[in-house]
Structure 1
Amino acid sequence: MTDQSTVQTLSRNDRPTWPAVRCGFRGKCPNCGKGKLLHSYLKVNDACADCGEAFVHHRADDGPAYLTILIVGHLLAPLLHIVFVQFRPDPLTLFAIFALGCLSLSLYLLPRLKGVVVAYQWARRMHGFGNDD
């Protein structure tokens, strides 16, 4: 007879988190790593075209936007301070460079972090991802 901790360990190990998160960051299915996770900029596919894994259970909500703001803010705020103190550029130049950098980095990270959140939920069997096994 197995105890509850062994069962939980086995159920977590059959869906390793880090490979799933890496696939999610690349926009690939966390199950097979081949199919597309997103079919447009932020729309999650209902299921993987290659392996058939259902993604309708995902609950990413505001998580990817929060993570994007957190990462972009922590990268650009110290950089903005360093550039301002060291070089003292014209305020309009400083604004233009950092506004473009903030926008570009945010647009790059948002779909990737949405894939990470969905893949993490899949790997941890959250929100119905583990009910059909």
Structure 2
Amino acid sequence: MPIETIAAPRPLPTAAEPDRPVWQSMMRGAALRCPACGYGRMFRAYLKVADECTACGEELHHHRADDAPPYFTITIIGHILLPLIWWSSTTIAAPPLWFWSFWVVAIIASCLVTLPVIKGALVGLQWSRRMHGFSGLPDSEHRM
């Protein structure tokens, strides 16, 4: 009976590769720009990440943001607006229809503005930490 050989996994990028700046990449992503160069657009539509940067050619299609941007958006907007809603409901005597109409519009608008910013920052974080396909290895060869 032959002995099966198990191929060793390919090593992750070595220390010879320069570190990518985390905060700079996240800030570039939050500005909706390429995390590598800071010039090309990250999104080709509202929340659709471009396949590659138009300025430097960096591949951006590797991102795996998934459910994280909405989760962080809801958490951040909730922590900012809920205290304001509570404060205004206890101090301002407004008709309920006006009150709730204003706050529903404020919540939806702030979430729609914040969501691409947070997604861009998360894609920038993934790029800087060489997560998923951003390391140069195929997606099937990544170790968790």
Task: Give the TM-score normalised by structure 1.
Answer: 0.87
Q: Distance in 2 between matches of 1:94 and 1:15?
A: 47
- Where 1:43 maps in the other structure, the secondary structure is coil
What is the number of residues matched between the two proteins?
A: 124
Which has the larger Rg?
2
Distance 2:128 2:81 in 1: 31
Could you tell me which of 32, 35, 53 is aligned with 2:37? 32
Q: Could you tell me how far 1:55 is from its partner in structure 2? A: 0.9
Pairing 1:70–2:75 present: yes
Q: Deviations over 1:78-124 (max 9, x none)?
A: 00000011113221111011011101101100111111111110011
Aligned to 1:124: 129
Task: Give runs of ≥4 in structure 1 deviating > 4 Å.
Answer: none
Partner of 1:80: 85
Q: CA RMSD in A?
A: 1.6
TM-score (norm 2): 0.81
1:56 paired residue number: 61
% same residue: 42
Task: Give the match for residue 109 of structure 2.
Answer: 104
Q: Which has the higher helix share?
A: 1
Q: Give the residue type in structure 2 aligned to 1:21.
A: M
Deviations 1:59-88 (A, max 9, x none): 010111111111111111100000011113
Please give the per-residue CA displacement for 1:32-65, whole angstroms capped at 9, x wherever unaligned: 0000000110000001011111011100101111
Q: Which amino acid aligns with 2:105?
A: L
